[in-house]
């Protein structure tokens, strides 16, 4: 069946088509009026073709109403171009128009140019006119890439014989670590659904139901503050679970699927499995974060014991972290001052001390006068210091010193261009603490409340909760957390005890997780799984710095939809129907 608007797309005509009568349709990207001739660049999703309109009264009249970004259909003859354009696939030909029809006109004044490099357009304006922004070739291709990545995930999971199953969107509230989005019930006054932060309970229940291997591309909803690598409100994840499975089975699945998806969508070097495994505590000690970028060769050393009893007041009684950087002997003083300013102004550090080491191994500049020969020898031995290096020091209470050192490490890696190029480096962070202290000083879950504690019931009964590890793990790539998962707690008694330690009574557990609680009474298989953030994976593969560049209709930095005007007020009748009265307090 012939298409009434086009016989070809705007990216497929070539020198082989010269002489053919064709019909094209698309958006008018540029209009160049040379008096007796008019040149149009016609664009669709597939490419650009130059349209030539010669002096012809009927066509000239129609073209008077043409504006950039209007949609047209054109009949014409394919001709060889006298001046070729090697920047586009159709650059050897042009189409000389015999007829033209405007399908949808556009305003003469656009809010911004669509495909012009280097223009600085406010993000909120782009998001307000997202339907135009998506016509930009780069953004458009990001969304196409996203589609392909999703297809690749599904293909990989099909090869591994996983079953795709959709779980409910209207669910119950669950302590997943973020605020819920609540949906009031019209039929049940005073009661609420919650949009799922993750399909956690449902996928565990699928394992109880006898499904051996489940997955889905799952929509998830968390009321979190936005940031560059996190979309506010909603996101998608590649979610999977396996029955009769261990942590090793999950790792094997990830080490199969992730490299294959990345290799199918990037020409960079991709780490093959098995991925490096780093215990959580080691990651914090060496990298100052549980999301280490292994492209960065710098590591953090703890020098607290070496500076014990020091008379240098800035280090006295503090936890001291240090980072050694090679080839810094020629760095000017302003480089070190800039790093210190960064630490103080951006990281809320009390300061960033430093010394340089010359080719003779002598300490120079910074705090060199406060480091005696004995401490210098110990530092050199512990850190493997080489001539020409510099050492940066952070001193504070342990948690803050660790965090600052991690951020300084990242900054140094970027400033000194130390990161390995064109590579995705993966690692698993393992052995997360099961519990942590809340801001109020109470015991709380550290990562995932549904995880199996290492050591099972014995650990829960005999250990300090803060000393218990869980079978929890994260997949990290190039400094981003891509996936998180766990071996699940499948034992009702262990579940009760684990939640009891975190302050939940049996009644609380039954009320919040009734289905899961009762399902554990009917032969639950051991099971494990993980979930990876699709948006963040696409962002990495598209080589974008902001997650909003790979989502078709993202929220802005204030979690608003500038295009649709959401969130917005609703009519009083709508509130009445769901039994809600507003008490808005700013």
* Number of CB atoms found within 10 A of residue 161's CB: 8
Query: What is the rounded distance in angstroms from the CA atom of residue 404 to the CA atom of residue 65?
Result: 60
If you average pLDDT over residues 406-434, what whole number do you get?
97
Report H helices in 81-234. 123-128, 130-133, 137-159, 200-208
485 phi and psi angles, rounded to 5 deg: -165, -175
pLDDT at 249: 98
If you average pLDDT over residues 293-304, what whole number do you get?
97
**Residues in contact with 372: Cβ distance below 8 Å, sequence separation at least 6, in sequence order:** none
Residue 494 has pLDDT above 90, yes or no: yes
**Res. 61 pLDDT band, cuts 50 70 90:** confident
**Res. 281 pLDDT band, cuts 50 70 90:** very high
**Res. 187 pLDDT band, cuts 50 70 90:** very high
Q: What are 32's two structure tokens?
A: 């160049």
Residue 37 has pLDDT above 90, yes or no: no
pLDDT at 409: 98
Determine what percent of the chain is predicted with pLDDT higher than 70. 99
The yes or no reply on domain 15-104 and CATH 2.40.50.140 is: yes
pLDDT at 404: 97
Cα dihedral 498, 502, 503, 509 sign: negative
Q: What is the pLDDT of residues 521-536, one digit of tens each?
A: 999 999 999 999 999 9
Query: What is the rounded distance in angstroms from the CA atom of residue 258 to the CA atom of residue 243?
Result: 20
Query: What is the rounded distance in angstroms from the CA atom of residue 144 to the CA atom of residue 209?
Result: 36
pLDDT at 41: 96
pLDDT at 487: 97
If you average pLDDT over residues 41-66, what whole number do you get?
88
Residue 176 has pLDDT above 60, yes or no: no
Query: What is the rounded distance in angstroms from the CA atom of residue 451 to the CA atom of residue 488?
Result: 4
Q: What are 36's two structure tokens?
A: 């007796």
> What is the pairing mode between strands 319-325 and 300-302?
antiparallel
Q: What is the pLDDT of residues 156-172, one digit of tens each?
A: 999 999 999 999 999 88
pLDDT at 324: 96
* Number of CB atoms found within 10 A of residue 55's CB: 10
If you average pLDDT over residues 410-422, what whole number do you get?
96
Residue 270 has pLDDT above 80, yes or no: yes
If you average pLDDT over residues 3-22, what whole number do you get?
95
Report H helices in 288-433. 333-347, 373-383, 398-415
Measuring CA to CA, which residue among 531, 461, 526, 465 is closest to residue 491? Answer: 526
Query: What is the rounded distance in angstroms from the CA atom of residue 173 to the CA atom of residue 162?
Result: 28
If you average pLDDT over residues 46-57, what whole number do you get?
88
If you average pLDDT over residues 67-75, what whole number do you get?
95
Q: What is the pLDDT of residues 107-135, one digit of tens each?
A: 999 999 998 776 789 999 999 999 999 99
pLDDT at 585: 77
CB 475 within 8 A of CB 426: yes
Residue 83 has pLDDT above 80, yes or no: yes
Query: What is the rounded distance in angstroms from the CA atom of residue 105 to the CA atom of residue 66?
Result: 7
If you average pLDDT over residues 14-38, what whole number do you get?
93
**Residues in contact with 440: Cβ distance below 8 Å, sequence separation at least 6, in sequence order:** none
Determine what percent of the chain is predicted with pLDDT higher than 90. 83
- DSSP reduced 3-state for 43: strand
* Number of CB atoms found within 10 A of residue 164's CB: 12
Largest CA distance in the chain: 93
Domain ranges of the chain: 15-104, 141-277+426-572, 296-419
pLDDT at 431: 97
pLDDT at 567: 92
DSSP 561: B
Q: What is the pLDDT of residues 258-268, one digit of tens each?
A: 999 999 999 99
Residue 175 has pLDDT above 70, yes or no: no
Lowest mean pLDDT among 287-296, 334-343, 506-515: 506-515
Query: What is the rounded distance in angstroms from the CA atom of residue 477 to the CA atom of residue 89?
Result: 35
The yes or no reply on domain 296-419 and CATH 3.20.20.70 is: no
Lowest mean pLDDT among 242-256, 263-277, 569-583: 569-583
Residue 33 has pLDDT above 60, yes or no: yes
pLDDT at 377: 94
- DSSP reduced 3-state for 137: helix
Lowest mean pLDDT among 326-330, 331-335, 550-554, 582-586: 582-586
Mean pLDDT of the chain: 93
**Res. 20 pLDDT band, cuts 50 70 90:** very high
Residue 394 has pLDDT above 60, yes or no: yes
Residue 57 has pLDDT above 70, yes or no: no
pLDDT at 65: 82
If you average pLDDT over residues 84-95, what whole number do you get?
94
Residue 56 has pLDDT above 80, yes or no: no
Cα dihedral 147, 152, 155, 161 sign: negative
If you average pLDDT over residues 331-352, what whole number do you get?
94
Residue 177 has pLDDT above 70, yes or no: no
Architecture of domain 141-277+426-572: 2-Layer Sandwich (3.30)
pLDDT at 71: 97
């Amino acid at each position: 069946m012939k298409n009434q608007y086009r016989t070809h797309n705007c990216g497929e005509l070539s020198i082989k088509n010269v002489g053919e009568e064709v019909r094209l349709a698309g958006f008018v990207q540029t209009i160049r009026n040379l008096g007796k001739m008019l040149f149009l660049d016609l664009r669709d999703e597939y490419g650009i073709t130059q349209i030539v309109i010669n002096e012809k009264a009927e066509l000239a009249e129609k073209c008077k109403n043409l504006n950039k970004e209007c949609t047209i259909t054109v009949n014409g003859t394919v001709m060889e171009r006298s001046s070729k354009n090697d920047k586009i696939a159709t650059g050897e030909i042009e189409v000389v128009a015999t007829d033209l029809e405007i399908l949808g006109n556009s305003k003469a004044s656009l809010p911004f140019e669509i495909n012009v490099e280097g223009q600085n357009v406010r993000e909120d304006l782009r998001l307000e006119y997202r339907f135009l922004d998506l016509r930009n070739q780069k953004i458009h291709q990001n969304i196409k890439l996203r589609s392909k990545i999703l297809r690749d995930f599904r293909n990989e999971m099909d090869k591994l014989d996983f079953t795709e199953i959709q779980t409910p969107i209207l669910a119950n509230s669950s302590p997943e670590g973020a605020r819920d989005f609540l949906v009031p019930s019209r039929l049940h006054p005073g009661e609420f659904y919650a949009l799922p932060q993750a399909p956690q309970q449902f996928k565990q229940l699928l394992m109880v139901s006898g499904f051996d291997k489940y997955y889905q591309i799952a929509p998830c909803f968390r009321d979190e503050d936005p940031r560059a690598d996190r979309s506010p409100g909603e996101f998608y994840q590649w979610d999977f679970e396996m029955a009769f499975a261990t942590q090793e089975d999950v790792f094997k699945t990830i080490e199969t699927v992730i490299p294959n998806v990345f290799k199918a969508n990037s020409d960079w070097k991709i780490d093959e499995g098995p991925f490096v495994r780093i215990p959580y505590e080691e990651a914090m000690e060496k990298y100052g974060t549980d999301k280490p970028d292994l492209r960065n060769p710098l590591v953090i050393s703890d020098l607290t014991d070496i500076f014990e009893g020091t008379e240098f007041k800035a280090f006295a009684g503090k936890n001291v972290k240090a980072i050694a950087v090679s080839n810094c002997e020629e760095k000017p003083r302003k480089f070190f001052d800039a790093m210190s300013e960064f630490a103080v102004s951006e990281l809320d550090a009390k300061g960033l001390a430093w010394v340089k080491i010359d080719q003779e191994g002598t300490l120079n500049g910074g705090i060199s006068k406060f480091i005696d020969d004995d401490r210098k020898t110990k530092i050199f031995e512990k850190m493997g210091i080489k001539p020409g290096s510099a050492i940066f020091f952070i001193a504070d209470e342990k948690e803050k010193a660790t965090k600052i050192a991690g951020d300084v490490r990242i900054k140094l890696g970027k400033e000194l261009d130390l990161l390995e190029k064109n590579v995705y480096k993966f690692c698993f962070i393992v052995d997360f603490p099961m519990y942590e202290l809340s801001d109020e000083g109470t015991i709380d879950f550290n990562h995932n409340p549904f995880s199996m504690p290492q050591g099972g019931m014995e650990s829960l009964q005999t250990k300090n909760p803060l000393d218990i590890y869980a079978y929890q793990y994260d997949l990290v790539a190039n400094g981003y957390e891509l996936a998180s998962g766990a071996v699940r707690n499948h034992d009702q008694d262990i579940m009760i005890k684990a939640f009891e330690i975190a302050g939940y009574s049996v009644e609380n557990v039954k009320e919040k997780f009734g289905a899961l609680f009762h399902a554990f009474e009917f032969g639950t298989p051991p099971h494990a799984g993980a979930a990876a953030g699709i948006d963040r994976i696409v962002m990495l593969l598209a080589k974008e710095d902001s997650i909003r560049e790979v989502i078709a209709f993202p929220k802005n930095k204030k979690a608003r939809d500038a295009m649709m005007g959401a969130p917005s007020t609703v009519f009083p009748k709508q509130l009445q129907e769901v039994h809600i009265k507003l008490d808005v307090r700013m």
